[in-house]
Structure 1
């Protein structure tokens, strides 16, 4: 009897796995992915993947505390302590106080906002993000800081690519996800006509073709918006990785921010600072208030 029931259970589980699933908007969900977004792709120095993960944890945690601050645990503990003291004065029993202490110890730990996903690929790291973290906002904030200061706060990280959401790497899923991500961006300024470009990067994948993806994603944009490969204002960043995963985000000023290559941004900024300092020293030696031309 038990074997019969277990056989029925396996059959029903197989049917559930093969049954096509649908989103609330009616679009089908195709397959399963090996990496889950949202998150951030990072390229790094070869053989420094583990070190890159560590430095990105520290960087992202620091930035997220400023962008999305959490309530202080100390405040909660103080409130509990004040409450327990007041109730103890009113005749609370020792057993009741102990029960409160045990309950406070059993509170769930603060959920980690970032987690490393093993890519098994040299020079490539993926850090998944949990709410309230917005990967695009996080990366843009860091890039702006590097552009201003020339300090990356990392040693091995090269380029960062935010992933607002991910899907299976096939055309129907990619188009569906792109449409959903574009809608709120376009709705922010419905009268604006954007010049846009699809920035596609494919790693270890040979199923969907590059031009096919770009052509299909262009159909997701309303016709009034125009493709501009040199002076785009809006960029659809698409990362296809291996056979199963596609990550997409919609960003602005991607070229102005040197494609989020923080190492290059820092080098450029530090060269500018060094040049200005050199001009200043020449001016001091010449005894004038203005820089001497080289």
Structure 2
């Protein structure tokens, strides 16, 4: 009996460890890497950094807000004032070492925020973080299936690759997988490439691309964004941006 009880405890620990935390579909935010056992410090300093780079209020109204009455708008503004700045950024626990994820509200574009932070570090040559290393924005995400990936790809890439009077774009696809085995990289690349198509003369260029499609896969979730300046800003690695700027200055 004792041996069975010990075995049950062991199984419970394994089950708990393997479940971890999952990201919901349609989640947007930013992944960040850090040194081992520094996840909490990374999370805290990154939220502070986000607060410094995001305004207290959003100037532009969305369509739903425009349709509200003056009284309802006042109520909405009061509710927003009660919300602290830190409430905008919600860290989600991940069952993965050296990796954190901070969820952003839909009013904040993760790509713009990452680009702003990297640009500031690049131009100032000042190190603003101690624990945070690489940032990776996720504009939107979906469940880990080929059909959902196809829908996600259309939502994100349609406005960029299929505009009226569309110019040809050189692009590359970068896929990162952590605790993820639902789809292979080849399957995902094929699905994304099919959605881009050849109608406007778009082509793959792994070295001199105009835009990079970032795909972040974690457990049951696939996140995606389209970025520029990826190589200019040292692959969005804040530590490497600082090191490179110091090296160029010496």
Using the size of structure 1 for normalisation, the TM-score is 0.66
SS in 2 for 1:184: helix
SS of match in other structure, 2:172: strand
- Correspondences of 1:63-142 after superposition (within 5 Å): 63-65=53-55, 68=58, 109-110=82-83, 112-142=87-117
Structure 2: distance between partners of 1:55 and 1:265: 17
Change in CA separation of 1:147 and 1:107 when aligned onto 2, cut-off 3 Å:
closer
Residue matched to 2:14: none
Counterpart for residue 254 of structure 1 = 230
Contact 1:175 1:216 in 2 (8 A): yes
In 2, Cα distance between equivalents of 1:211 and 1:171: 12
1:198 is paired with a residue of what secondary structure?
strand
2:245 to 261, 265, 269: 269
Contact kept, 8 Å, 1:113 with 1:133, in 2: the verdict is: no
User: Which of these two proteins has the greater Rg computed from alpha carbons?
Assistant: 1
Q: Following superposition, which runs of at least 4 residues in structure 1 exceed 6 angstroms of deviation?
A: none
Kindly indicate whether residue 19 of structure 2 is the aligned counterpart of residue 46 of structure 1: no
The structure, 1 or 2, with the larger RCO (C-alpha pairs under 8 Å, 6+ apart) is 2
Distance 1:107 1:253 in 2: 37
Structure 1's unaligned 5+ residue stretches are 1-32, 71-102, 276-294
Aligned to 1:231: 208
Residues 66, 262 of structure 1: CA spacing in aligned structure 2 closer, same or farther, 3 A cutoff? farther
* Aligned 1:168-207 pairs, distance under 5 A: 168-186=143-161, 190-207=165-182
Q: Aligned in 2, Cα 1:272/1:162: closer, same or farther, shift over 3 Å?
A: same
Q: CA deviation at 1:267?
A: 0.5
* 2:161–2:196 contact (8 Å) kept in structure 1: no
Aligned residues: 207
